[in-house]
Amino acid sequence: MRKPFDPKLHEKNDKIARDIAKKAFLSQYNYTLVDNPDIYGPDLMAYQNDEFLGFVEVEIKQYWKDHKHFPSSTLHIPQRKNKFLVYGITNIPVPIVFCVLSADLKGIYWIEGENLINCQTIFKPNKYLDKEYFFDVPLLKMQYFDVEPINNERDNNESVKSQSSQ
């Protein structure tokens, strides 16, 4: 069972997650992230000195409230995102990083796709489905960095404002 696309969740979280990832990866690694023109593909494309490095898929984990404390020893990334491990018409594995932002938008955990596929999968409920498959990723296998303070990005994001005022 897979979670169906939810346009309201997408509108609420997509732009802010992309914007923060773009600024954070530029600041942390000097990677330039740009929106992927393929709206069905991974969220972002990463470049350094105009050289394509790979893709970045980003999401916000709402249950991870405080970036200084992750509430578990493992992080769950939906297995449905494994479609991005082999992407495009070539059917050849591509370099991709899966990023998870804290709900307070101040911390990022990330893992390379080639490491993600080696993680155990679990079948568990979530707030959207009775059960769904997830990669069960030990935090020790992930990279972490603090996001530099950004002028309250969530409040400045018009799509988030419109959602929260409804």
Q: What is the tens place of the pLDDT at every residue in 116-156?
A: 999 999 987 666 556 789 999 999 999 999 998 655 444 54
- Rounded to the nearest angstrom, the gap between the alpha carbon of residue 104 and the centroid of all alpha carbons in its chain is 14
Q: Name the average pLDDT for the chain.
A: 85
More confident residue, 105 or 159: 105
Assigned token pair, 95: 């370099």
Domains of the chain: 7-164 (3.40.1350)
Q: How does pLDDT run across 10-49, given as a tens digit for each residue? A: 788 899 999 999 999 999 999 999 999 999 899 999 999 9
Banded model confidence at residue 7, pLDDT cuts 50, 70, 90: confident
Q: Which amino acid is at 115?
A: N
Farthest CA pair distance, the chain? 45
Supply φ then ψ for residue 16, to 5 degrees: -65, -40
Query: Is beta strand 74-78 parallel, antiparallel or unpaired with respect to 51-61?
Result: unpaired
Select from 99, 15, 4 the least CA-distant residue to 55: 99
Q: How far is CA 159 from the centre of its chain?
A: 18
CA dist., res. 47 & res. 30, Å (int):
9
The band of 96, judged by pLDDT with boundaries at 50, 70 and 90, is very high
